Amino acid sequence: MAGNTARIMRRNAPEVAVDWQAVLRHMALSRALDAMEETRLVPEKKVLYQFSARGHDMAQILLGLRLDGRHDAVCGYYRSRPLLLSLGVDPEDALGSAMGRAGGYSDGRDIGVVFNHPNPNGATALPMCGGVGAQYTPTAGWAQALEFHARVLGSAEHGKSIAVVLGGDGSVASNGFWSALTMATTQRLPMLFYIEDNGFGISVASTMQTPGGNIAANLASWRGLKIFAGDGTDPAEAVQLTADAVAYVREERAPAMLRLTVPRLQGHSFQDTQAYKSEKLVQAERARDPWDKLKAFLVPSRMTAAEWDEMVQTAAETAEAARFAAEARPVAEPTTVLRHVFDDGEMQQMGGLRPAGWEPPPMSDTPRPEGQRLNMVTAIRRVLEQELASNPRMVVFGEDVGPKGGVHAVTLGLQDKFGGERVFDTSLSEEGIIGRAVGMALAGLLPVPEIQFRKYSEPATEQLNDCGSMRWRTNNRFAAPMVVRMPVGFFKCGDPWHSQTNEVAFIHSPGWKVAAPSNAEDAVGLLRSALRGNDPVIFLEHRAMLDHPWARRPWPGDDYGLPFGKARLVAEGRGATLVTWGGMVDRCLEAANGLSVDVIDLRTLMPWDRAAVLASVARTHRCLIVHEDLQTAGFGAEIAAVVASEAFTALDAPVERLTMPDIPSPHNPAFLNWAVPSVAAIRAKLEDLMGF
């Protein structure tokens, strides 16, 4: 290959230093565990998901033994157990996790092939995901965090560490791969893309994933990317390529790709019979088994046959002891699965600011109004500015948030004040924005990404869901606290692309807190609490309220912070309870004028203040829920179900909802004004309910 590509076999070069006994020890153990699962544990239904690493194993181990930086991190995928073993993961944990037993990677919550390995004093295995390609952008985020720690915070250790991501040839077709590649090369990040090319993504040939089936050849002229490529089954070639690729990233602080061809000697998973492969191909793959090549390479030049046999036998015994210990582990108490959805007071091992000892400054939920009334834009910007000034690990980023100051001007001037390392623009990839934020949070930063409009978050759905579930699925080993700012809703007009709310999707994603302030004071309190919290937060900024006169409030104080899950009673009465949030609060207040009605602004939707709503309904005996989102499966349905279930005997009328019809947001203002609940429509609905 030409240009920036290297297929390295330097016959006269000094031999790369590597502990070949360690390579054999880990590889023999990996093979013993695979064989045990396939011949015993899967047939006995003690392991439900099994992915053999045979063929991939030697090259992974050679990589793992090179990850010795103080803050090195690697993110693999479901075929990465050999790498984990080389990093020091206990085989008892590996088997126990595969069997869904207590302890291990997830306490039985996640499939055992989805690894994680918190290691504050060495190479960390970032939480893996079940989705193909989901590992790339969080790894890029870790790489960018390494540079931030080194250049901005002055940590020499971070300046010597690297980020490594493993992926198969099928994953190079994913959005995450291309987004991470763009990030790594445009930002010159210390990130190694390690591609294990076995020629198939389940049954689909690699030629369907990338033209010609060779991603290294296709990227040979990709600017800013050094490429290493060769045979991952040849010990001498694989060790040289791996050593050179890791050294390049570590020393040059620049990205590289290492593509190694390997055979997949078993099916994609245990259930896969590989019927799509010809017998000739299967035999050709077996002839490339790195196990046989490693033995020929080591025996007799580096060890005797007896030493080889002894190490293989020891590995078998280690595997059997691990199986015995793993089977002795109990299944966790089922009720424990309710723990660790959110921060519950027990500190995660890695991720966010708090494991390193950071404590948030004290806050008060008592406002101390001062100065003139501010709109929401100014209030939010002021909070961001104050928190950036007080927290050197906070970073703000997204599309157009830098010199432009965001399409809604919320971040205007912040880059000038804090610099391009802390407030910066990104490529137009929401997958990359949120995935990057995940990696940064795992590396001990506080990311505050902006998604320009609610609809634009959809390419990032996988990263958002994976981030929210991280604390739970790793049993509190990892968490990725961040605050995702996101404008929502209509403005002077609507349309299907910029005017959605659809907040219910985030509420339905476990692990995310969701704020929906209606005014500047609440925006200050909720945003400050989010930025000083220990959970990921979706912070919804309603476009119509950003400069709405009603939403303007005096500055409530530099320490003002609101708890999540505490609604505000903005009007009091006895005739009905009106529940709302965000862009509908001012309309509901106007509609209720002159009527005896409780108007409740929920302020946060996850958690939401059930107690306040139920207490109000107990007094008023009627309930109307008003929101901008669609009616079918909107969040109002959840509130209505709770009221109907828990306040049934207090009700004197059916629980009612007033919402948008089940249509996309229309563009023409006349259409929009007809579709969005109006003051007149809310008033009419209230009067009907109160007269029931």
What single string gives the DSSP state of each residue in 396-411? EEETT-STT--TTSTT
Q: How far from each other are the two terminal CA atoms of the chain, in whole angstroms?
A: 79
Taken as a whole, the chain contains a residue count of 692
What single string gives the DSSP state of each residue in 329-366? SPPPPGGGGGTTSS--SSPPSBSSSGGGT--PPP-BSS
DSSP bridge pairs for 204? 201
C-alpha distances in Å from residue 9, one per residue of 5, 66, 230, 239: 13, 19, 9, 10
The backbone torsions φ and ψ at residue 658, rounded to the nearest 5 degrees and listed phi first, read: -130, 120
Residue 397: name the closest of 368, 428, 374, 372 by CA: 428
Measure the CA–CA gap between 420 and 397, rounded to whole angstroms. Answer: 10
Give the number of other CB atoms < 10 A from CB of residue 95.
Answer: 27
Measure the CA–CA gap between 362 and 354, rounded to whole angstroms. Answer: 15
The H-or-E segment that residue 424 falls in is strand 423-425
Contacts of 374 (CB under 8 A, 6+ apart): 382, 520, 552, 553, 554, 555
Contacts of 339 (CB under 8 A, 6+ apart): 476
Tokens at residue 380, please? 């939010």
The backbone torsions φ and ψ at residue 550, rounded to the nearest 5 degrees and listed phi first, read: -65, -35
The backbone torsions φ and ψ at residue 592, rounded to the nearest 5 degrees and listed phi first, read: -85, -5
Measure the CA–CA gap between 45 and 14, rounded to whole angstroms. Answer: 49
The sign of the torsion formed by the CA atoms of 597, 603, 608, 609 equals negative
Contacts of 549 (CB under 8 A, 6+ apart): none
Secondary structure class of 515 (helix, strand, coil):
strand
Active site residues: 498
**Cβ(577)–Cβ(622) under 8 Å?**
yes
Strand 537-542 relative to strand 483-488, pairing: parallel
C-alpha distances in Å from residue 359, one per residue of 53, 391, 490, 512, 533: 43, 11, 38, 21, 10
Question: For 18, which DSSP code?
Answer: -
